[in-house]
Amino acid sequence: MSTQTPSLSPPRLLPPRWWWLALIVILLCAGALRYTGYNFSLPYVDHVDEPHFDVAAQMIIDMGTDKSMNYQGYPPGLITVNYLFLRFFHTPGTPPTTIIWMVRLLSISASLVLLIVIGLLAYLLSTPGGGLLAALLWGFNPIAIEYARYATADTFVALFTVLAIYLVVTGVVHRREGWITAGILANLVGILFKYQSGFVLPLLILLSLAPLRAPDADRCRILEGFIRRMLIVGAFSFWLVLIYPSLEANQIANWVAPTDRMHLPSPEQLVQGILLLVTTNARGILLAVAALAGILLRRTNLWRIGVVAAALLLWLAGVGLFGGYDMRQVIGALAMLTVLLGVGLAGWIDLLARFRLPRWVFEVAVVAATLVLLVPDIHAALSDAYQRTLPDRRNDLARWMDVSVPAGSYIAPVDNHKTFNPGWGGYAGFTAFPYSGQATLTQQSLPQLRTSGVSYAIISNSDYQTLDPDVAKQLLLLKDYPPSSAYRGPDMAVLRLTPIQHAASGTLGSIRLVGYDLDSATVKPGGTIHLTYYWQADAPTAQPYVVFNHLMNASGDLVAQIDGDPLSDLRRSTTDWNDPQETLISRTFTLSIPVDTKSGAVSLYTGFYSRTDGDRLHTPTGTDQLLVTTLQISG
């Protein structure tokens, strides 16, 4: 770090008015990209981490603790946010994930506040132009935009950590002890969201003593403030380590910071982390080289720049103690890198200003060059914003199966492992479809799956198209969701693991009978037969229709009868049979044979009628019923 005295030539505490007007324009653009599609995929919860904090908060409400999830040692910040939304805004009886959109909106707002802080910090390190360039880079960074939309802790910890750096550096530069204390407090809040914010804390504590080096420093006042801050940090550390069970964080499944496997990161690993951050921009290498050159050639405010660079390296080194880097762990470091990029690019304005032209010419030139370098990122951000507005196929799947398919367990790839889970996937339906894992549909696996009670398989459309024909004959395609650019989520084929027993044909109105299941073709007087139909519909009916089933003897007398709604779920009537390709499974109809029924053949007829006016659907030939099959009454 340079020996340059921190208190020399401090900039204005806040940028001029024109700077704020320019920042508002950047904020509006950044906000449009982030808020667009904030509720992507909902009510299905796409992101793997969002339900963890939501369910943990719900457990605290229901049971007073989230220890059953082993989340008692997780940083409490985001769980507390979810708790507050669940406590005051959740509708009872709905999945807890119905409040995730609120947390996402808060995360996006935090990202926009972070944009302001990044701009202010870059201004403090360089010039107003540097602040705006850094804000511009953060506003259009695709990764920053993506992670802002998630109801996770990443953006919050980045905000409070960068805010802490800004407040402490500002306090040192302008000799404001209150700002330094506020910065330390902001860093402690960051730790409550993610522990890696603590990697920066020692640097900030050391930096808070920098004003002691000024010749005219009020050392007693500075030391008093330092002691107060250390008491606060000590009390916080005592609570975090000895009262709050933070040391039990290792018990969390898939915990990314296992303290039992810590090791010092190698220089190569740190370089990998920096490259991970740099390449979040499509032309990040070029931006980084230009920014580094701008910093080295300009060579002003090096100690302030060094503080941010040191914080970035401390963050990467701290995360590297526990293994490799995942982007969600280093969003805070990405924000710090963005500050340095803005400062370095602004350095070129001062360098070029040595030529005898108005300064605004070079400011416009550097901004224009930066925007040109950001064109791929802007395009990616716009494309991603559009994609987030598309409906997720898994919501369609969940709604359809809930009202159309009898309950039963299913197998599916990981894309659909939590589609029907209320807590983890946001499923709001009533029909239960337990997940039975992943499996391959083969001649050998089908009998095992059926024996284990699996009823359905949800596989990709391409996998269904390439199924072995002998296997496909033993399955029933219920509904197909082909690939489409108008949807998010996977394409799917929904299969029942047992085929239709008996094929059939016949049309009543727009409804086609394609098959039926019958438990027995022979029945004794006093016995029962169980019957299931399979229908397809070319179009919905104008009003709801119900099914009649008549057993008629050779004389045309009615032997037995059962009527009822066509599907087992009353929420879906024939007015909603709107997909000609889907196969609808009827409820199971039970026909009771009177004890005095004479032996002989009987014919089973079925049809549809309206409960309102008795109107029946007709066949193309004008009859109002279909002959399904012939049964034998055997005494």
pLDDT at 6: 40
pLDDT at 22 over 50: yes
pLDDT at 355 over 90: no
Q: Side-chain half-sphere of 557: how many Cα atoms within 13 Å?
A: 6
pLDDT at 206 over 50: yes
Q: Side-chain half-sphere of 152: how many Cα atoms within 13 Å?
A: 21
pLDDT at 212: 87
Q: Tens of pLDDT along 494-549?
A: 999 999 999 999 999 999 999 999 999 999 999 999 999 999 999 999 999 999 99
**Could you give the percent of the chain with pLDDT greater than 70?**
97
3-state helix, strand, coil in the chain (%, to 5): 50, 15, 35
Q: Which of 300-304, 324-328, 439-443, 613-617 has the lowest mean pLDDT?
A: 324-328
Q: How confident is the model at residue 4 (pLDDT cuts 50, 70, 90)?
A: very low
pLDDT at 260: 65
Q: Cα 613–615–621 angle (5° rounding)?
A: 170
Within 10 angstroms of residue 503's Cβ, the number of other Cβ atoms is 11
Task: State the amino acid at position 87 in one-letter form.
Answer: R
Q: Tens of pLDDT along 55-74?
A: 999 999 999 998 888 888 89
Q: Which of 209-218, 286-295, 369-378, 547-556 has the lowest mean pLDDT?
A: 209-218
Report the alpha-carbon distance of residue 388 to residue 498 in Å, rounded.
Answer: 37
pLDDT at 252 over 80: no
Report the alpha-carbon distance of residue 439 to residue 187 in Å, rounded.
Answer: 47
Is cis: bond before 43, omega within 30 of 0?
Answer: yes
pTM of the entire structure? 0.89
Q: Tens of pLDDT along 449-477?
A: 999 999 999 999 999 999 999 999 999 99
pLDDT at 586 over 50: yes
Q: How confident is the model at residue 218 (pLDDT cuts 50, 70, 90)?
A: confident
Q: Cα 242–244–249 angle (5° rounding)?
A: 100
pLDDT at 210 over 60: yes
Q: How confident is the model at residue 2 (pLDDT cuts 50, 70, 90)?
A: very low
Q: How confident is the model at residue 187 (pLDDT cuts 50, 70, 90)?
A: very high
Report the alpha-carbon distance of residue 583 to residue 345 in Å, rounded.
Answer: 61
Q: How confident is the model at residue 9 (pLDDT cuts 50, 70, 90)?
A: low
Q: How confident is the model at residue 267 (pLDDT cuts 50, 70, 90)?
A: confident
Q: Which residues contact 409 (CB under 8 A, 6 or more apart)?
A: 433, 434, 435, 436, 453, 454, 455, 456
Asked whether the beta carbons of 356 and 302 are under 8 A apart, the reply is no
pLDDT at 635 over 80: no
Query: What is the residue-wise DSSP string for 468-495?
Result: -HHHHTTSEEEEEE---TT-BS--EEEE
Q: Tens of pLDDT along 269-301?
A: 889 999 999 999 999 999 999 999 999 988 888
Asked whether the beta carbons of 273 and 320 are under 8 A apart, the reply is yes
Mean pLDDT across the chain, nearest whole number? 92
Question: For domain 502-633, which architecture applies?
Answer: Distorted Sandwich (2.70)
Q: State the residue for tokens 């018990």.
A: 251
Domain boundaries, the chain: 17-386, 400-496, 502-633
pLDDT at 259 over 70: no
Task: State the amino acid at position 375 in one-letter form.
Answer: V
Over residues 97-117, the mean pLDDT reads 97
pLDDT at 1 over 50: no
Structure tokens that stand for 590 in this block: 């039970």
pLDDT at 54: 94
